[in-house]
Amino acid sequence: MSNKADRYQVHRKTGDESLLLGTYDLTTNEAGGYDPFVVADAYAYGNSTSMVGGDAVVYTAMPVYTAMERAQSDTENQGQSASFATLDFLTSVAPNADQSGITFTWDVTALTHAGYDTLRLERDGETLTYIPTDAGSFTDTLMLFGTAYTYSAVMVENGVDSWEQSATAQLAPNGAIQATLISAAGDFVLPHQTLVLTDAADGSTVVSATTDAQGQLQTSGLYYGVSQQFAWQSESQALVT
């Protein structure tokens, strides 16, 4: 970095994203040089730009020259820290095999070694429960089929939210579809025909299925209890009624 710069812009980089943490003007000391400055980057609950668990983070400090007519940034001489990983403790957020609920698990060893003994578990920002770290897992059984939820595990230290990691999950479709495809005249069935069930509101595909040798169709893909308008189409997008 150039020692002529009198200002620095500090960024946090996570993957392809870069966040400006702040712009810092340097202070001249008695020796004619500049005093060092310190940038603190800490977790903040509810802040969408905060660091979270499982991130790989790099910091950069870009020199800025303000003595010129216009401030000039020196991208070629910016300093960069080594990459480091934030505490990665949420091991899984996934539906149970029988679709009876969504279970999330965490690394008990990682959290206890870091000194955390309590987790607050949230779903879409609402608290589900407080649970001891050494429990290792929690299953949520009070959710709707067809809705994606964001689950968060917030580490609590001395009553203060100290760290967080989140993941999204939803239960699989639990509604079956059964039908028989017959000709328009109603005099014979139509075997081996592929049909596409679409959402009438936005045209998106819900599921596609093929009739058997007797013209019968059976598949899953609907969410029981969710109200939607649907339409059947052939592969050529002709409406089927």
Q: Looking at the predicted structure, is the pLDDT value of residue 1 above 50?
A: no
Q: Looking at the predicted structure, is the pLDDT value of residue 98 above 50?
A: yes
Mean of pLDDT over the chain = 86
* 138 part of a folded domain: yes
Q: Looking at the predicted structure, is the pLDDT value of residue 222 above 70?
A: no
Verify that 28 and 43 share a domain, yes or no: yes
Verify that 109 and 131 share a domain, yes or no: yes
Verify that 37 and 67 share a domain, yes or no: yes
- Which has the minimum average pLDDT: 9-13, 65-69, 71-75, 147-151? 65-69
Q: What is d(CA 106, CA 116) in angstroms, rounded to the nearest whole number?
A: 12
Phi, psi of 109 (to 5 degrees): -60, -45
Find all residues with CB under 8 Å of 192, minimum gap 6, and list them: 210, 211, 212, 213
- Which has the minimum average pLDDT: 34-48, 60-74, 178-192, 222-236? 222-236
Q: Looking at the predicted structure, is the pLDDT value of residue 234 above 80?
A: no
* 236 part of a folded domain: yes
Q: Which amino acid is at 86?
A: T
DSSP H helices in the chain: 108-113
Phi, psi of 41 (to 5 degrees): -125, 105
Of 176, 166, 175, 172, the closest CA to residue 147 belongs to: 172
Q: Looking at the predicted structure, is the pLDDT value of residue 236 above 90?
A: no
Structure tokens at 187: 């005099």
* 68 part of a folded domain: yes
* 47 part of a folded domain: yes
The predicted model scores a pTM of 0.68
Q: What is the dihedral of CA 57, 58, 64, 70, to 10 degrees?
A: -60
Instruction: Select from 113, 140, 169 the last residue of a domain.
Output: 169
* 79 part of a folded domain: yes
CB 8 within 8 A of CB 26: yes
Between 204 and 156, whose confidence is greater?
Answer: 156
Verify that 72 and 109 share a domain, yes or no: no
* 2 part of a folded domain: no
> What is the average per-residue pLDDT within 22-49?
89
Q: Which amino acid is at 221?
A: G
What's the residue count for the chain? 241
pLDDT in tens, 172-221: 777 777 778 887 777 788 888 888 878 777 777 777 888 888 888 887 76
pLDDT in tens, 107-154: 999 999 988 999 999 999 999 999 999 999 999 999 888 788 999 999
- Which has the minimum average pLDDT: 40-54, 148-162, 171-185? 171-185
**Residue numbers of the domain that contains 213:** 175-240
Q: Looking at the predicted structure, is the pLDDT value of residue 79 above 70?
A: yes
* CATH code of the domain containing 119: 2.60.40.10
The residue assigned the tokens 């070629």 is: 76
Verify that 34 and 78 share a domain, yes or no: yes
Cα angle value 219/222/224 (rounded, 5°):
120
Percent of the chain's residues with pLDDT above 70: 91
Assign 224 a pLDDT band (cuts: 50, 70, 90). low
Verify that 104 and 154 share a domain, yes or no: yes
pLDDT at residue 171, as a whole number: 86
Neighbours of 113 (CB within 10 A): 10
Verify that 12 and 81 share a domain, yes or no: yes
Lay out the sheet containing 118-123: strands in order across.
Answer: 126-132, 118-123, 149-157, 160-169
> What is the average per-residue pLDDT within 12-20?
94
Find all residues with CB under 8 Å of 98, minimum gap 6, and list them: none
> What is the average per-residue pLDDT within 68-90?
88
Beta-carbon-side half-sphere exposure of residue 95 (alpha carbons within 13 Å) = 17
Structure tokens at 33: 């040089």
Q: Looking at the predicted structure, is the pLDDT value of residue 239 above 70?
A: no
* 1 part of a folded domain: no
Q: What is the dihedral of CA 196, 202, 206, 209, to 10 degrees?
A: 0
Beta bridge partners, 13, equal 18, 58
Neighbours of 179 (CB within 10 A): 16
